[in-house]
Amino acid sequence: MRIKVDRDSKIALYIQIKNQIRDKIYSKVFPQNYILPSERELSDMIKVNRSTIIKAYQELKSEGLIASEVGKGTYVVYTDEIENNEKLHNFINRFYWDEIYSESSKQNYGDSISKIMKTDHGQRIISLSGGIPCPDSFPEEELKKIHMNLVENDMEKVFLHSPVDGYMPLKNEISNLLLNRGIKASPKEIMISSGSQQGLDLIVRTFINSGDVVLVEEPTFFAALQLFKTIGAKVIGVPIDNDGMRTDILKYLIDKHNPKCIYTIPTFQNPTGITMSMERRHELLNISSKYNVPIIEDDPYGELRYEGEDFPTLKALDRNNQVLYLSTFSKVIALGLRVGWIVAPEKVINKLSSLKQITDLHVNTLSQHTMYEFLKDGYYEKHVKRVKKEYLFKRNLMAMELQMDSLKECSFELPKGGYYIWYKVSNKLNSNSLIRRSVENGVNYMPGQLFYNKLGENNNYIRLNFTYPRREEIVERIKRLKDSIRQVR
Amino acid sequence: MRIKVDRDSKIALYIQIKNQIRDKIYSKVFPQNYILPSERELSDMIKVNRSTIIKAYQELKSEGLIASEVGKGTYVVYTDEIENNEKLHNFINRFYWDEIYSESSKQNYGDSISKIMKTDHGQRIISLSGGIPCPDSFPEEELKKIHMNLVENDMEKVFLHSPVDGYMPLKNEISNLLLNRGIKASPKEIMISSGSQQGLDLIVRTFINSGDVVLVEEPTFFAALQLFKTIGAKVIGVPIDNDGMRTDILKYLIDKHNPKCIYTIPTFQNPTGITMSMERRHELLNISSKYNVPIIEDDPYGELRYEGEDFPTLKALDRNNQVLYLSTFSKVIALGLRVGWIVAPEKVINKLSSLKQITDLHVNTLSQHTMYEFLKDGYYEKHVKRVKKEYLFKRNLMAMELQMDSLKECSFELPKGGYYIWYKVSNKLNSNSLIRRSVENGVNYMPGQLFYNKLGENNNYIRLNFTYPRREEIVERIKRLKDSIRQVR
């Protein structure tokens, strides 16, 4: 609604406003029942005293052109009847959106992540449930410097559009970074995505048909489970042990189900923290080659190793180009950046790009430039070293707190890296009672059943994140968690 | 690949490097045929003189552990045979990605936008083909100020994660902004998306099943056409005339096809520039109500009116909540921001959010904060006023250039707003010859057939963008375009 007032005019402001609204009603720009802004809203919009608006509205009311009703507001009333207008009224508020959702969106259960993200930034949540880096370890000084520089010197450039597959200098830097992970990928084999979450979404939509079978580790990342189900895939879980995905069972499942692809988080798996052994890595690649089933390797945590030797990624060992590799800066730097990437054969990158272009065109330009500068200036390596030190401390702290006066029938394996402790609680406990009691006691975690293919299964595990909470919060919250377990018992 | 060197050690650097690589080969961390970084790459990675690396590699070669081949690089050779390893070789480079694309991704034709976006920012392209705001009108000073402030005071906050449905203060500002368009929407009825392109993608995936019928204006925005087709929808075009979508034909098509939804760009339509009349708006809404077919209203250009009175959006006239509304800052401020929004009933927003959370989690936090400040500080209105002035000038300039010594059988209607002139060229011309000749002559445009449901149809139109090129470039390029038409004749 556009109302223009001319303060130099001899016509009183309230009359100017009244006339413009009246004209819009007569010309049917505002139709019958059209809801006008409230007096306060209109006064804010056109920066005119509220009493002026009240006067204008009063005039219009006395002319019978508008009326007010509690709950409805101020609306337009036609003095002469408009033909066939009754028909409309029969439909008011009768539009049933629930009945027309697509089949795929019905698969999209729950909104667990959404609830976690929906937090007030004013009061920092103290939660063990997220998968978020520690805000205190955020590389504030480095990013400040980079931003000041970009804003000073490249302002226009960082707001312009970018290529669909990503800003080339950033792709070059990522190509260098990948050498550390044993991956040789040219920039043409790299595509920037809005986090690795989008990378997975693009891959799923590009390769998977409704009805296709996807093999995943069980348990696995719940958003991946949801993505596969949303596209209509049949998800089948492959059990894991302390060496990662059970490749013996994998073979059997491939024979039986003829799957479209295998999804794996081989290093510091979400939620279990388990890392696939070298032997299993080779076996998995052999099986993938032999049966011609591609692998989606999701590697958000790989750089966060707190002890032992790094294993090469599957992509590093991939001589057949049978692995699509996903990674991100979200878990190492900050979630809000939304910068991740895909490594794939060039023709697959082109195919993924043609989907990305109609999905959201490209990743935010400023973020891409920021990450480029961050890598180029050598801040990345230093930052990773710093957060690893902090997360090692926090992992040990949480483990210590869990072990102290340890609870009967509760246990965990210490993960060698990553974000999570996968904590087994006594299976005599009712998991619903435990989560209710824990929330009452002010501690939040991810219930294990979210990570299973079939809801409700194996719910005697919970996922605890040790990177996001502050040190003192870890101590406090684990104490509360243990209290909750004792109380529910 | 992680190699650590200890400069204080008594062991020579090249020996340290050699030993670590040897260990990784023996422990099978580097398997048979594993490609090592080149000497130069490794020297860069671990900051050691290249000659040191050369020496280390020479040692490894003389031990028979690695070998080099032109084209392949330096790779690992096992001295003892590895069982069953021959099998692997049969599969090398035999992975046929082309054969496993999903049905939906086969629908995803062409990469026309991709090619436009793939431009070197160093040399500014001078193109009439894009849909990009003028970089010279970019609100540089205002955004600089906002950024400096954010970086100075809220650094941590602007990199943290955001709620899936968007940063609340930004949603509040957008709610205010929408009053100008006659739309009363609470923040709960608004969701922030990565441009309106993503908004449409989320809506499509949430509502449309493969096989559903979607009605669109014909011609219409090609990325929308592609999105509908990618999901497997049957797209049916409704003809438009100078008053917008032909509602008489719409009725007939609804009866015949029972469509899932109607997609429209009612104001300054892409590509035609046509604005739907008030009468048609009411008719369209009546039909949508009567037949219970929801409307997707795409409104990226609505604020860019250069003459005449604003019409209310369909959403403003929507008393049944039957319209899903999309808009964006891309066309008014900058494409690289990737900030748009959806207006929909609250429960639909919740449904869309649960898809967005598994798609890409949320929109870049810094962009959302930036746009919030831009709106809050009142820069937006002033900026819109400024660009409208510039675009009005450019529209008139392009129209003038097209009319001067006007070409026989070529014509256009002057659009009252938006981005494009839809230029009809003589249908005696071969459109392929014309585009080839035009590119040779250094001028680029969007061929009309891209905007039609069936490729190859109605190709005697071309879409010319007047917002992106500089004034002098408009003169120059239109001259070249007209030359190209004359030459092809």
Instruction: Report, as an integer, the average pLDDT of B61-78.
Output: 86
Q: Do B362 and A101 touch (CB under 8 A)?
A: no
The whole-number average pLDDT for the span A246-275 is 96
CB A157 to CB B93 under 8 A? no
pLDDT at B460 (0 to 100): 87
pLDDT score recorded for residue A86 = 38
Establish, for the pair of chains A and B, how many residue pairs have beta carbons separated by less than 8 Å.
368
Across the interface, whether the CB atoms of A179 and B37 are under 8 A apart is answered yes
Question: What residues have CB less than 8 Å from A378, skipping those under 6 apart?
Answer: none
The predicted pLDDT at position A82 comes to 38
State the sign of the Cα–Cα–Cα–Cα dihedral B137, B143, B144, B145. Answer: positive
Task: Classify domain A138-377 by CATH number.
Answer: 3.40.640.10
Tokens coding B111: 């990469």
Residues 88-147 of chain A with CB under 8 A from chain B are: 88, 91-98, 100-105, 108, 110-111, 113-114, 117-119, 121, 132, 135, 138, 140, 143-144, 147
- Is pLDDT above 60 for A132? yes
Domain B122-136+383-488: state its class: alpha beta
Q: What is the DSSP letter of A302?
A: T
Per cent of chain B over pLDDT 70 is: 91
Mean pLDDT of all residues in B158-164: 87
> DSSP state, A413?
P
Give the residue on B whose Cα is nearest the Cα of A92: B320
For chain A, the average pLDDT equals 87
Q: Would strands B420-424 and B446-447 be described as parallel, antiparallel, or unpaired?
A: unpaired
> How far is it, in rounded angstroms, from Cα A243 to Cα A247?
10
Of the partner residues A31, A114, A364, the one whose CB lies closest to the CB of residue B336: A364
Residues comprising chain A, all counted: 489
Query: Is it the case that residue A386 has pLDDT exceeding 70?
Result: yes
Residue B208 pLDDT level (bands cut at 50, 70, 90): very high
SS3 string, chain B, reads CCCCCCCCCCCCHHHHHHHHHHHHHHCCCCCCCCECCCHHHHHHHHCCCHHHHHHHHHHHHHCCCEEEECCCEEEECCCCCCCCHHHHHHHCCCCCHHHHCCHHHHCCCCCHHHHHHCCCCCCCCCCCCCCCCCHHHCCHHHHHHHHHHHHHHCCCHHHCCCCCCCCHHHHHHHHHHHHCCCCCCCHHHEEEECHHHHHHHHHHHHHCCCCCEEEEEECCCHHHHHHHHHCCCEEEEEEEECCEECHHHHHHHHHHHCCCEEEECCCCCCCCCCCCCHHHHHHHHHHHHHHCCCEEEECCCCCCECCCCCCCCCHHHCCCCCEEEEEECCCCCCHHHCCEEEECCHHHHHHHHHHHHHHCCCCCHHHHHHHHHHHHCCHHHHHHHHHHHHHHHHHHHHHHHHHCCCCCCCECCCCCECCEEEEECCCCCCHHHHHHHHHHCCCCCEEHHHHCCCCCCCCCEEEEECCCCCHHHHHHHHHHHHHHHHHHC
Answer for the pair A180, A316: CB distance below 8 angstroms, yes or no: no
Closest CA to B268 of B239, B227, B229, B297: B297
Instruction: Compare CB distances from A91 to B44, B320, B350 and report the shortest one's residue.
Output: B320
Tokens of B341: 């929004």
A353 and chain B: CB distance < 8 Å anywhere? yes
pLDDT the model gives residue A430: 84
Confidence of residue A88 (pLDDT cuts 50, 70, 90): very low
**Is residue B364 within 8 Å of residue A338, measured between CB atoms?**
yes
CB atoms within 10 A of CB B355: 22
Strand-pairing partners, residue B178, are none
Residue B207 pLDDT greater than 90, yes or no: yes
pLDDT tens string A154-174: 887 888 888 999 999 999 999
Give the model confidence (pLDDT) of A309-334 as tens digits: 999 999 999 988 999 999 999 999 98
A355/B108 touch (CB, cutoff 8 Å), yes or no: yes
pLDDT, greater one: B382 or A109: B382
> What's the pLDDT at A455?
61
**Given a cut of 90, is residue B101 above it in pLDDT?**
no
Confidence check: pLDDT of B85 > 80: no
CA dist A55 to A2, A10, A14, Å? 18, 17, 6
Q: Which helix (H) or strand (E) holds A21?
A: helix A13-26
Fold of B13-82: Arc Repressor Mutant, subunit A (1.10.10)
End-to-end CA distance of chain A: 61
B319-360 pLDDT, tens digit each: 889 999 999 999 999 888 899 999 999 989 999 999 999 898
> Nearest residue on chain B to A357, judged by CA atoms?
B114
Distance of CA A100 to the CA centre of its chain: 25
**Maximal CA-CA distance, chain A:** 89
Q: For residue B107, what pLDDT is reported?
A: 65
What ipTM goes with this model? 0.77
What angle is formed at CA B63 by the lines to CA B61 and CA B66, rounded to 5 degrees?
A: 40
Whether residue A92 contacts residue B286, with contact meaning beta carbons closer than 8 Å, is answered with no
Positive or negative torsion for Cα A33, A34, A38, A39: negative
Write phi, then psi, for A452 (nearest 5 degrees): -105, 150
Binned at pLDDT 50, 70 and 90, residue A127 comes out as: confident
Q: Cα B471 from chain centroid?
A: 25
Q: What's the pLDDT score for residue B224?
A: 95
B 460-489 residues inside an 8 A Cβ radius of A: none
pLDDT at site A107 = 64
Ranges B76-85, B100-109, B283-292, B474-483: which has the least confidence: B76-85
- DSSP codes joined into one string, A359-407: HTSS--HHHHHHHHHHHHTTHHHHHHHHHHHHHHHHHHHHHHHHHTTPP
With bands split at pLDDT 50, 70 and 90, how would you rate the model's confidence at A92? Answer: very low
Q: Does B453 touch chain A (CB under 8 A)?
A: no
Q: Which whole number is the average pLDDT over A229-241?
A: 93
Instruction: Report which DSSP code applies to A121.
Output: S
- Please report the pLDDT score of residue A220 as a whole number: 96
- Taking a C-beta distance cutoff of 8 angstroms, is the pair A36, A66 a contact? yes
| pLDDT reading at A99 higher than 90 | no
Q: Which ranges of A96-219 does DSSP label H, i.e. alpha helix?
A: 103-106, 112-117, 140-153, 168-179, 195-207
Q: Using an 8 Å Cβ cutoff, are B337 and A364 in contact?
A: yes
* Per-residue confidence (pLDDT) for residue B108, from 0 to 100: 56
Contacts 24+ apart (CB under 8 A), B342-347: B342/B190, B342/B191, B342/B193, B342/B196, B342/B199, B342/B202, B342/B203, B343/B178, B343/B183, B343/B185, B343/B189, B343/B190, B343/B315, B344/B189, B344/B191, B345/A95, B345/A97, B345/B189, B345/B321, B346/B186, B346/B188, B346/B189, B347/A97, B347/A98
Residue range B199-203: mean pLDDT, rounded = 96
The C-alpha atoms of residue B106 and residue B100 are separated, in whole angstroms, by: 10
CA–CA min distance B431, chain A (Å): 24
Residue B90 in this model has a pLDDT that exceeds 70: no
Contact of B264 with B294, CB cutoff 8 Å: no
pLDDT, tens digit, 9 for 90 and up, residues B22-58? 877 766 778 888 889 999 889 988 889 999 999 999 9
For residue A165, the model assigns a pLDDT of: 94
B118 or B50, which is more confident: B50
Token pair, residue B87, equals 């099998």
Instruction: Give the separation between CA A223 and CA B222, rounded to whole angstroms.
Output: 31
**Cα gap B72→A203, rounded to integer Å:** 28
Q: Does the distance separating the beta carbons of B92 and A161 come in below 8 Å?
A: no
A169 and chain B in contact, CB less than 8 A: no
Query: What are B8's two structure tokens?
Result: 């204080």
Tokens 């340290």: give the residue.
Answer: B16
Query: Given pLDDT bands bounded at 50, 70 and 90, which one contains residue B449?
Result: confident
Question: Is it the case that residue B92 has pLDDT exceeding 70?
Answer: no
Closest by Cβ to B29, choosing from A95, A292, A312 = A312
Q: What's the pLDDT at B333?
A: 93
Check residue B439 and give its pLDDT.
Answer: 86
Judged against a pLDDT cut of 80, whether residue B455 lies above it is answered with: no
Q: With an 8 Å Cβ cutoff, are B357 and A92 in contact?
A: no
Which residue among B114, B148, B278 sits closest to A28, beta carbon to beta carbon?
B278
pLDDT at A27: 65
For residues B353 and B202, is the Cβ–Cβ distance under 8 A? no
Task: Estimate to the nearest angstrom the gap between the alpha carbon of B311 and the chain centroid.
Answer: 27
Inform me whether the pLDDT recorded for B476 exceeds 90: yes
d(CA B438, CA B215): 33
Q: What is the mean pLDDT of residues B69-78?
A: 86
Q: Which long-range contacts (CB under 8 A, 24 or more apart) does A76-81 make?
A: A76/A25, A76/A30, A76/A31, A76/A32, A76/A33, A76/A34, A76/A36, A77/A32, A77/A33, A78/A25, A78/A32
Structure token pair of residue B222 = 């090609």
Summarised one tens digit per residue, pLDDT across range B420-440 is 999 999 878 888 888 888 888
Domain boundaries, chain B: 13-82, 122-136+383-488, 138-377
Total residue count of chain B as it appears in this document = 489
Determine the residue type at A190: I
- Best of B364, B383, B470 to disrupt the A interface (most A CBs within 10 Å) is B364
CB proximity B82 to A under 8 Å: no
Mean pLDDT of B68-77: 88
Q: Is the pLDDT of residue B119 over 90?
A: no
Q: Residue B348: which of A30, A97, A358 has the nearest Cβ?
A: A97
